[in-house]
Chain A
Amino acid sequence: GAVVSQHPSRVICKSGTSVKIECRSLDFQATTMFWYRQFPKKSLMLMATSNEGSKATYEQGVEKDKFLINHASLTLSTLTVTSAHPEDSSFYICSARVSLAGGLINTGELFFGEGSRLTVL
Chain B
Amino acid sequence: ELKVEQNPLFLSMQEGKNYTIYCNYSTTSDRLYWYRQDPGKSLESLFVLLSNGAVKQEGRLMASLDTKARLSTLHITAAVHDLSATYFCAVDPYNFNKFYFGSGTKLNVKP
B33 in contact with A110 (CB, 8 Å): yes
Among the 9-residue stretches B17-25, B67-75, B90-98, the one with 4 or more Cβ atoms under 8 Å from chain A is B90-98
Knowing A97-B96, A107-B50 are in contact, say whether A44-B101 is a contact too (CB < 8 A).
yes
B90 in contact with A110 (CB, 8 Å): yes
A102 within 8 A of B: no
Knowing A44-B88, A108-B31, A108-B92 are in contact, say whether A49-B45 is a contact too (CB < 8 A).
no
Main secondary structure of the interface of A (DSSP, over half): strand
**Total number of B residues with any Cβ neighbor in A under 8 Å:** 24
Main secondary structure of the interface of B (DSSP, over half): loop
Knowing A34-B98, A49-B98 are in contact, say whether A43-B45 is a contact too (CB < 8 A).
no
Report Cα–Cα, A112/B88, bound state, in Å.
Answer: 13
Residues of B within 8 A of A113 (CB): 42
Knowing A109-B33, A109-B48, A111-B45 are in contact, say whether A43-B88 is a contact too (CB < 8 A).
yes
The 4 closest A-B pairs by CB, nearest first: A115-B42, A112-B43, A112-B42, A44-B101
On A, residues with C-beta under 8 Å from B are 1, 6, 32, 34, 41-44, 46, 49, 93, 95, 97, 105, 107-115, 117
